[in-house]
Amino acid sequence: MTVLAECLQPDPSGENCGSRLGTMRALVALMKLRPGVLRRGGSGVLAIVLLCFWGCASAPAPRPTAHPFDDVRRLAIIASGESSFSIVGHHAEPGRTFDEILAWYPTQAWMRPLAKLLHRGINWALELDQTATISRRVDDIAPRAIVAAAMAQKLRASGWFDEVRTLEREPTAEERRADPIVRVMVPAWGLVRVHEGDPDLLASFADVRGYLMIPGTGVVLWEGNEDVTAPEQFPGDSFMKDHDFARQEVVDVLERAGQRLASELMYARSAGR
């Protein structure tokens, strides 16, 4: 009954639908094994099963948090935080091979953490080498400035704001009093493997965050986290052999990240109204 009660709980995130499907399988199996259940309470069980399905179907997608801020007509955007360029391979090997070897030695449990460590170390070294090769060509890119500029441009184009400024340093006391501030961060950017195959395909990416705050109050009007990935995917060689191409792709995705933040900020502007 506990399982059924959990199944009937609202699940806005939709994260538990997998376990609900497992519960459904168990219920269907129960109905097959116990014909008496069907006779006595079949329709009740069926109703519960359908309710489980209904709970999954209506789960909304996660959205950034926001309060309405229709009255905000002037904005200042400031970029802050650290940014690191990386090439994320997300490889299964050599860890899986280690696991296969360890399967022959089931009693050697202490070797498993060692294998994980070795897997991470080898991939870290490989990715570091690739990152070093490309990062020489992208060293002079200022990811936060590109994201902030693209965001400002899209916000201005909307016509919703009288003024959108980008600041290159922390605002002065006077500036802080003037306008709400959007703080933009780009913790990670680079290239990521997005498709397994022969060859594997990579895309440029930027993980960005934005906060719209009223200065001096600590009030956050809007918050957005975006994992931005370029829609186009290319073989790894395209990036490794043509560094100008790699540079253009990462600049494009940083601009796209700024536009995405602007879209989500504008979409949330009248949230709930």
Partner 1 sequence: MSSRSLAPITLVLALTVNGCGTTALDVRYPEQGVNRALLASVAPRRVQIGNVDDRRLETARVGIEPGGKGEIVTSRSVADIVHEALGIEMSKNGHLLVSDRPDVVVRPAVEVFSLDAVEGYASVQYVGRVVIALTVADGRTGDTLLTRRYAGVRRRQVDKPDESQWREVLDTALARAMHDLATDPDLVAALGGSRPSPARPAA
Residues that bind partner 1 (CB under 8 A): 13-19, 21, 24-25, 28, 31-32, 35, 38-39, 42-43, 46, 49, 56-63, 90-93, 95-96, 116, 119, 154, 157-160, 192-196, 205, 227-231, 259-260, 262-264, 266-273
With b for 16 or more beta-carbon neighbours within 10 A and e for fewer, the 213-229 pattern comes to bebeeeeebbbbebebb
Closer CB to partner 1, residue 163 or residue 196? 196
Closer CB to partner 1, residue 14 or residue 171? 14
* Cis preceding linkage at 94, omega within 30: yes
> CB of residue 29 vs partner 1: minimum separation in angstroms?
9
> CB of residue 259 vs partner 1: minimum separation in angstroms?
8
Closer CB to partner 1, residue 218 or residue 231? 231
Q: In Å, how far from its chain's centre is CA 267?
A: 18
Closer CB to partner 1, residue 49 or residue 181? 49
With b for 16 or more beta-carbon neighbours within 10 A and e for fewer, the 3-41 pattern comes to eeeebeeebeebebbeebeebbeebeeeeeeeeeeeeee
Measured distance CA(146)–CA(156) in Å, rounded: 15
> CB of residue 30 vs partner 1: minimum separation in angstroms?
10
> CB of residue 258 vs partner 1: minimum separation in angstroms?
13
> CB of residue 251 vs partner 1: minimum separation in angstroms?
16
First to last CA, the chain: 40
Task: List beta partners, residue 211.
Answer: 183, 223
> CB of residue 143 vs partner 1: minimum separation in angstroms?
17
Q: DSSP for 78-92?
A: EE-S--EEEEE----
Say how many residues make up the chain.
Answer: 273
Question: What is the three-class DSSP state of 110?
Answer: coil
Tokens matching residue 46: 């069926």
The residue type found at 253 is V
Closer CB to partner 1, residue 106 or residue 231? 231
Selection from 21, 16, 23, 19 nearest residue 1 by Cα: 23
> CB of residue 266 vs partner 1: minimum separation in angstroms?
4
Closer CB to partner 1, residue 33 or residue 173? 33
Closer CB to partner 1, residue 183 or residue 269? 269
Contacts 24+ apart (CB under 8 A), 171-175: 171/76, 171/78, 171/215, 175/76
